[in-house]
């Protein structure tokens, strides 16, 4: 990729989940993000499939995702998007508008054409007609079993999640229209520059109930109440959304338990308590 070019500077951006991520500056001051998969726990090449997600999103939204410049084996090179994390009164409106545009891309089934990554993990994404079955088996129960296979949570929380899973068809909609989602939309993957939304990174896309993504933004309290008002100007939210939003938040909470910290078990207990 950088043949016959001098690398002037390299800055580490992150090093997690077996992925080394660097910002590389060349001799002509052009800047790139380079991601290299150095190890994988289950032979899943998260870098390759992140690149495939980006290529898909670049076709749909060429101005809001970094362009893939090189993708092969364990190496992904993409454009660097200048950002400074400065948020202002228009930032949430920009985000609501762009997110609604993504969610307005529909499909006839839930899932995607390949298993998509989140935090280096493989998200099973084979297509399915039922949202309840897809969310139960390929999202919530998937991460629940993964945690308890390696480092079980307390019995009381586990029993609560098992009861929730058995009652899931009474908690979330069974047949919403499958909609494209970013899949891992938290603060670190939202790039702002002087208040303007300039990019979304690290997608783990699939067709889902789009309110799952709105619930995740709310769980981390990244958005204010105004965000929801902006969003419904472009796309509707169910009148029952707030009643089941924590069921969707539980998936992301358990991901954080597995990937980042056992401290999130307390958050999981609070989410589960509402539905038991």
- 219-231 tens-digit pLDDT: 988 999 999 999 9
Q: How far is residue 227's CA from residue 217's CA, in Å, rounded to a whole number? A: 10
Shared domain for 95 and 142, answered yes or no, is yes
Shared domain for 145 and 221, answered yes or no, is yes
The answer to whether residue 85 is domain-embedded is no
The answer to whether residue 41 is domain-embedded is yes
Give how many domains the chain has, as a whole number: 2
Q: How far is residue 105's CA from residue 192's CA, in Å, rounded to a whole number? A: 24
The answer to whether residue 189 is domain-embedded is yes
Enclosing domain of residue 224:
91-273
Residue 233 backbone class (left: φ over 0; alpha: ψ -120 to 50; beta: rest): alpha
Q: What is the pTM of this model?
A: 0.95
Looking at the DSSP assignment, which residues form a beta bridge with residue 200? 190
Residue 164 CA, distance from chain mean position: 23
Mean of pLDDT values over 148-166: 96
pLDDT at 121 over 70: yes
Tokens describing residue 88? 């202002």
Question: Which pLDDT tens digit goes with each residue over 186-240?
Answer: 999 999 999 999 999 999 999 999 999 999 999 988 999 999 999 999 999 999 9
Shared domain for 57 and 104, answered yes or no, is no
Tokens describing residue 205? 């896309």
Residue 129 sits in a domain whose CATH number is: 3.90.1200.10
Shared domain for 165 and 215, answered yes or no, is yes
Tokens describing residue 257? 């338990």
With beta carbons less than 8 A apart as the criterion, state whether 244 and 171 touch: yes
């Amino acid at each position: 990729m950088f043949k016959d070019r001098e690398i002037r500077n390299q800055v580490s951006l992150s090093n997690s989940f077996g992925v080394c991520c660097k910002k590389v500056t060349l001799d002509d001051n052009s800047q790139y993000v380079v991601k290299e998969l150095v190890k994988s726990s289950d032979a899943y090449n998260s870098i390759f499939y992140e690149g495939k997600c980006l290529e898909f999103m670049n076709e749909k939204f060429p101005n809001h995702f970094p362009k893939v410049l090189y993708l092969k084996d364990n190496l992904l090179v993409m454009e660097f998007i200048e950002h400074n994390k400065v948020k202002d009164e228009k930032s949430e409106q920009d985000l609501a508008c762009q997110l609604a545009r993504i969610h307005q891309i529909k499909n006839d089934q839930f899932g995607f054409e390949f298993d998509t990554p989140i935090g280096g993990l493989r998200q099973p994404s084979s297509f399915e007609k039922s949202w309840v079955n897809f969310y139960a088996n390929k999202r919530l129960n998937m991460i629940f079993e993964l945690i308890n296979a390696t480092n079980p949570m307390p019995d009381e929380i586990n029993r609560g999640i098992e009861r929730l899973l058995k009652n899931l068809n009474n908690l979330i909609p069974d047949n919403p229209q499958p909609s494209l989602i970013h899949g891992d939309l938290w603060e670190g993957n939202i790039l702002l520059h002087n208040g303007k939304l300039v990019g979304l990174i690290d997608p783990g896309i699939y067709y889902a109930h789009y309110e799952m993504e709105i619930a995740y933004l709310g769980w981390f309290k990244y958005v204010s109440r105004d965000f929801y008002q902006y969003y419904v100007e472009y796309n509707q939210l169910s009148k029952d959304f707030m009643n089941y939003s924590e069921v969707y938040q539980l998936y992301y909470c358990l991901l954080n338990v597995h990937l980042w910290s056992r401290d999130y078990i307390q958050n999981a207990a609070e989410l589960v308590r509402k539905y038991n």
